[in-house]
């Protein structure tokens, strides 16, 4: 039985007992995409990312994929997005293709952020400009219409120089600095201009002016030194990077995954690292390439930390990541990082307790009403009287010192309970909405309702606050 789709008081009470008391008020999940039409596996929508706009009380959800309804060229990936009511989760308008006039071969991995000063969104993503070569691009969008505000997406990275076709940039992340009306974009890449080979991987940053997204300060600034000379070690782009801005300390924290020999790690022994960045100058501050996680004994490649996420919390930062608690058993752990020194304090805290040890893709947010930490993640659960493991999206609350509060809340329903044929694709996004204890979660997954079929991946969203009406999440919206 799907307790979250059953609207009786008894069913909701049962859900509270099973998954924790925090589920008592929530809108239903809503499907936001229908790539290449429902019932078709020719299209897909992956890696949802959300940004909240308090001025219009709406969320922009962006993703990448293929969709012939958006004039997607054969074999080419595109970036799309949709505006969503923050309370009900219902769409406000159609799906919009965002990488219009971008050129190149394919678009990937978008991230979105809202600028309340200009009242617009900035979306940053990777474009494969020619085969095997990619760079980072941005576009500004009107908050109420998603109309692009630049004639074409703007390239902000130039690995190896403007005309180079051998060095690339991947996996961008972005944060907004409201004090200076600036953005900081971070990515993983290799740049011959700083003596790297095209196979090495380190982290780079670029500040952007919030008024026009023009580049500000140091160009394509390398902030990590994890890459070994033979490129066997370095920052691992598939696990992503993240960045957050602290208005109290006027600085950013960028986090990444690496098997950095300088930290005494073995080859393929991955841990989480971070670097504070001065908000006005882009220069590195605090500890250099600070190691933020300690997973298992040093020198043991079978214990890893990966998939980092960061959020500013008062004068410090909270960082969460996926890590081995015992070999091969993955949970979400977290630590506090000092806002001025960039080193950890308070120890590592375990945020999730799953039945299968397969928690992954954490994403952090701060509840502005309580100051509590929210972590959205994917994990397996036990359903029914027999131990049948399936993957869904969950949310866990934690205190300001990162101690879990209550039970994890199941936030997705993908396929029948007990079936492992359906579930989320990699990645999940969570943003706080307003000051009333609310949040919005977005993810990609395949489902068996509303015309969707196995291996047809679409984007879903769900608000923690009940909307003015119920939606079943499976209509053609």
Per-residue pLDDT of the chain (477 residues; tens, 9 = 90+): 232 233 333 333 333 333 333 333 578 999 999 998 888 898 999 999 999 999 999 999 999 999 999 988 888 999 999 999 999 999 999 999 999 998 888 999 999 999 999 999 999 999 998 888 999 999 999 999 999 999 999 999 999 998 888 999 999 999 999 999 999 999 999 999 999 999 999 999 999 999 999 999 999 999 999 999 999 999 999 999 999 999 999 999 999 999 999 888 999 999 999 999 999 999 999 999 999 999 988 889 999 999 999 999 989 999 999 999 998 899 999 999 999 999 999 999 999 998 888 999 999 999 988 999 999 999 987 544 344 578 999 999 999 999 999 989 999 999 988 888 999 999 999 999 987 779 999 999 999 998 899 999 999 999 998 544 333 343 334
Domain of residue 216, CATH code: 2.120.10
Q: Which of 178, 166, 168 lies closest to 137, judged by CA?
A: 168
Q: Identify whether 32 is part of a domain.
A: yes
Q: Identify whether 64 is part of a domain.
A: yes
Consecutive H or E run containing 12: helix 9-19
d(CA 235, CA 224): 8
Alpha carbon distances (Å) from 288 to 49, 283, 396: 29, 11, 31
d(CA 386, CA 417): 12
d(CA 285, CA 289): 10
Give the torsion sign (CA, 448, 454, 458, 462).
Answer: positive
Q: Identify whether 436 is part of a domain.
A: no
Task: Read off the DSSP letter of residue 71.
Answer: T
Q: Are 292 and 286 in contact (CB under 8 A)?
A: no
Task: Sort 109 into a burial class: Cβ within 10 Å, 0-12 / 13-18 / 19+.
Answer: buried
- Domain range for 277: 27-355+452-463
Q: Identify whether 1 is part of a domain.
A: no
Q: Identify whether 150 is part of a domain.
A: yes
Token pair of 213, please?
């997204």
Q: Are 394 and 374 in contact (CB under 8 A)?
A: no
Q: Identify whether 364 is part of a domain.
A: no
For the sheet with 438-446, list strands across it.
Answer: 30-31, 458-463, 438-446, 423-433
Q: Do the strands 438-446 and 458-463 form a parallel or antiparallel pair, or are they unpaired?
A: antiparallel
Token pair of 362, please?
């954490």
Q: Specify the number of domains making up the chain.
A: 1
Q: Identify whether 117 is part of a domain.
A: yes
Q: Identify whether 389 is part of a domain.
A: no
Q: Are 135 and 127 in contact (CB under 8 A)?
A: yes
Residue 142 has a CB neighbour count (10 Å cut-off) of 13
d(CA 26, CA 473): 13
Alpha carbon distances (Å) from 373 to 320, 405, 448: 10, 10, 32
């Amino acid at each position: 039985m799907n307790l979250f789709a059953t609207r009786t008081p008894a069913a909701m009470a049962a859900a509270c007992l099973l998954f924790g008391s925090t589920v008592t008020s929530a809108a239903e999940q809503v499907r936001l995409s229908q790539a290449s039409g429902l019932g078709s596996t020719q299209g897909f929508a992956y890696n949802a990312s959300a940004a909240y706009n308090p001025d219009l009380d709406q969320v922009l959800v962006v993703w990448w994929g293929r969709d012939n309804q958006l004039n997607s060229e054969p074999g080419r990936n595109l970036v799309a997005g949709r505006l969503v009511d923050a309370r009900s989760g219902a769409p406000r308008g159609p799906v919009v293709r965002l990488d219009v006039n971008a050129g190149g071969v394919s678009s990937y991995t978008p991230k979105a952020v809202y600028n309340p000063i200009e009242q617009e969104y900035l979306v940053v993503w990777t474009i494969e400009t020619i085969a095997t070569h990619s760079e980072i691009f941005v576009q500004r969008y009107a908050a109420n219409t998603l109309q692009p505000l630049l004639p074409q997406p703007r390239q902000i990275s130039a690995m190896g120089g403007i005309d180079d076709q051998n060095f690339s940039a991947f996996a961008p992340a972005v944060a907004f600095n409201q004090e200076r009306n600036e953005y900081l974009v971070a990515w993983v890449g290799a740049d011959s201009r700083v003596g790297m080979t095209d196979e090495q991987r380190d982290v780079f940053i670029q500040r952007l002016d919030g008024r026009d997204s023009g580049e500000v300060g140091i160009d394509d600034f390398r902030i990590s030194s994890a890459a070994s000379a033979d490129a066997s070690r370095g920052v691992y782009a598939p696990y992503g990077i993240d960045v957050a801005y602290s208005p109290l300390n006027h600085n950013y924290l960028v986090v990444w995954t690496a098997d950095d020999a300088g930290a005494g790690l073995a080859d393929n022994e991955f841990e989480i690292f971070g670097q504070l960045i001065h908000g006005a100058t882009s220069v590195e501050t605090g500890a250099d390439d600070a190691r933020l996680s300690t997973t298992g004994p040093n020198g043991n490649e079978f214990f890893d930390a990966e998939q980092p996420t960061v959020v500013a919390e008062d004068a410090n930062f909270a960082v969460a990541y996926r890590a081995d608690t015992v070999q091969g058993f993955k949970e979400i752990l977290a630590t506090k990082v000092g806002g001025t020194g960039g080193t950890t304090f308070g120890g590592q805290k375990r945020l999730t307790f799953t039945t299968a040890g397969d928690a992954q893709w954490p994403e952090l947010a701060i509840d502005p009403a309580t100051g509590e930490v929210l972590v959205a993640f994917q994990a397996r659960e036990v359903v029914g009287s027999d131990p049948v493991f399936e993957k869904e999206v969950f949310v866990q609350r934690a205190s300001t010192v990162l101690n879990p509060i209550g039970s994890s809340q199941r936030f997705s329903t993908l396929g029948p309970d007990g079936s492992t044929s359906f579930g989320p694709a990699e990645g999940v996004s969570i943003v706080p909405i307003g000051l009333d204890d609310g949040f919005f979660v977005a993810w990609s997954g395949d489902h068996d309702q509303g015309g969707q079929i196995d291996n047809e991946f679409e984007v879903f969203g769900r608000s923690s606050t009940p909307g003015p009406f119920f939606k079943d999440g499976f209509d053609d919206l």
